[in-house]
A and B are shown apart, each in its own frame.
Chain A
Amino acid sequence: MTAGVRDERVRSVSLLGQLLSRPELGAAAGTVLVFVFFAVTAGGSGLFSAKGIINFLEVSAQLGILAAPVALLMIAGEFDLSVGSMIGFAGIAIAIPTIVWGWPLWLAVVFAFLVCGFIGYLNGLIVVRTGLPSFIVTLGSLFMLRGLTLGIMRGVTGRTQASGIHEYAKDDILTPLFAGQVLKTPIAWLADIGVVGKRADGLPMISGIPMSIIWWIALTLFCTWLLTRTRFGNWIFASGGEANAARNLGVPVARTKIMLFVFTAMAAALFASIQVLVTGSADTLRGNLKEFEAIIAVVIGGTLLTGGYGSAIGAMFGALIFGVVQMGIFYTGIDTDWFKLFMGAMMVTAVLFNSYVRNRAMRSR
């Protein structure tokens, strides 16, 4: 907005006051807190060495790839509990065509994206057509997809895991896109000048930035742009905020929601593609509980469970906190059993904080 149309009654709000009305604030503050905590407790343990940073960023990136689209869906007022099972399903949708049917890997990946997108479409269609809560519909898909994954995998291969996909991935055009690394040259240079540490054999501790991190950042930026700068983003907010009002004004609420279900399902397929190509294996149990981890990241990021308010950048911070805490606990030497207790408590705190921020935003400024 230009300065010309500012009303004289707009008082200049303190920077803190302005920040407090942003959905991302809680997560950004939490991130700082978590970094300070581990800088103090695990400062010398290697958590903040180049290797350590890449380690926790990779954990965050995987979750963040799910969290950004899940944030958009939750802002539109819906849940998708099937993303975790969808990851396992997408994994075997890549593995079976590659190993059993002899498809080229890239075709199997495209196939997995399409099938997952279609299942996401069905999820969305059932939700908008029946008017049932998406929590129930996708809870059903959570179990159905897991069962389908196990049934198909054991039926076709006789096992629940597939390995050796590295063989097929070696020369595939998609491998650099999902499992590659970027910025190798600058990192080698940083190692030469001593910013990045070197291993005993003289090579840098890290050889490059994994593609998953690039996907995470790109997807978050894309979702933020979509949400705050496009018509579609306006419809997402309206669909979650007051679906009836939106419908009366001609917003295609049903279509908006269905597209977002397709998007979360595709994100699960992206997650699986990266995982399968990096590890070279697929497992029917992959992605277990990821749906809830994604919701935790999104909620820590300031998105309301009731829809209509939230941000994709917030979800990125949520995923970052998740990664730092998970790896930080490992580096500090605290028993990792405590990780889940910590994340659960963190989420409840975040929800309390967010409802405070929301009430503040709704108050006459």
Chain B
Amino acid sequence: MEAPLIELRSVSKYFGKVIALKDVSFDVRAGEVHCLLGDNGAGKSTLIKILSAVHTPDAGEIFISGKATHFSSPKVALDNGIATVYQDLALVPLMSIARNFFLGREPVKGVGPFKQLDIGLANETAYRELKDMGIEIRDPEQPVGTLSGGERQCLAIARAIHFGAKVLILDEPTSALGVHQASVVLKLIVQSKARGIGVIFISHNVHHAYVVGDRFTILKRGRSMGTHKNTEISRDELLHLMAGGKELVDLESEIARLKTAKAGT
């Protein structure tokens, strides 16, 4: 079997006295969606930042396609095809879709001091790439500010893929979206997977994750609660694991007690 695109082995990260991550192992293979689930403060953000080389782990190893690697900066990770789409999406609302698509990597034509933007190429490429991924935009010259939240998310993802992402790290891509908008993004995740991209999908919404995920890793208080294949675990079991089994049972009994107490008065 082919080596994972990126693999973390027993990674730990400390911030002073705080243990942000302890002995976490995680990997993603080409053409799969690996969901990273966890509540707030579980260590998801720290894990993303290690994957995208913003942080270096204090212990443990990172392998890229089977080779032990040490990335010095997010730029190097990006050059190796590990692209992260953060929640702020890195989009400029007042600029056009095409200009956002190519921001920082603009196509130019002409020579010497007369080099200028190839706006025709930018418009056509942005339009085609988005269309290929099933996102119909009206006009590549309309400002990004006129797009819906889901469309913006898709634009950011399409941009990462166009510029050579092999591993796509998506930080809560559906959390701020309505049902329809979220489904558009989920479809795009499946599309990316079909293109052979390894997708790391960070979420606290089990319902969204379960629809697209091949494997699920649950983080809790900085530790991994294990990785499960979608054929081996049901949605309810996943929900149960994530909410923390016993805690949820305790919560239920407490609520039941409160209800009876109230009924008694």
Contacts and interface: CB of A to CB of B under 8 A. Distances in A.
Given A1-B123, A245-B91, A234 B106 contact: yes
B103 A251 contact: yes
Contacts of A199: none
Interface in A218-261: 225, 229-231, 233-235, 237-238, 241-242, 244-246, 248-251
Interface stretch (B21-29, B62-70, B141-149, B221-229): B141-149
Nearest to B142: A365
A10 B138 contact: yes
Interface in B76-106: 86, 88-95, 99, 102-106
B239 interface: no
Contacts of B16: none
A56 interface: no
Interface stretch (A160-168, A278-286, A356-364): A356-364
A246 B140 CA distance: 19
Nearest to A241: B92
A165 B142 CA distance: 53
B241 interface: no
B156 to A, nearest CB: 10
A10 B117 contact: no
Contacts of A365: 138-139, 142, 146
A263 to B, nearest CB: 15
Interface centre among A234, A235, A246, A363 (most CB of B within 10 A): A234
Contact of A1 (B95, B124, B136): B124
B140 A1 contact: yes
B90 A245 contact: yes
B138 A250 contact: no
Contact of A363 (B128, B138, B140, B146): B146
B143 A362 contact: yes
Contacts of A248: 86, 90
A274 to B, nearest CB: 24
A178 interface: no
Contacts of B146: 362-365
Contact of B104 (A250, A308, A309): A250
A183 B116 CA distance: 31
B137 interface: yes
Contacts of A337: none
A237 B94 contact: yes
Contacts, number: 99
A7 interface: yes
Contacts of A9: 136, 138
B120 interface: yes
Contacts of A245: 88-92, 103
A11 B158 CA distance: 25
B104 A362 contact: no
B216 interface: no
B177 interface: no
Nearest to B140: A1
Interface string A273-314: 000000000000000000000000000000000001100000
Contacts of A238: 92, 95, 99, 103-104
Interface string A343-365: 00000000000000000011111
Interface string B115-132: 111011001100110000
Contacts of B90: 242, 244-245, 248-249
Nearest to B113: A230
A6 interface: yes
B108 interface: yes
A342 B239 CA distance: 67
Contacts of B108: 230-231
B94 A309 contact: yes
A5 interface: yes
21 contacts: A2-B124, A5-B123, A9-B138, A225-B116, A234-B95, A234-B99, A234-B102, A234-B106, A244-B90, A245-B90, A246-B103, A249-B90, A249-B104, A250-B104, A250-B105, A361-B94, A361-B145, A362-B94, A364-B146, A365-B139, A365-B146
A-B CB proximity, top 8 nearest: A249-B104, A241-B92, A245-B90, A250-B104, A242-B92, A362-B145, A229-B116, A231-B106
Given A241-B92, A362-B146, 10 more contacts: A1-B140, A5-B123, A6-B139, A9-B136, A234-B95, A235-B104, A242-B92, A250-B105, A361-B145, A362-B143
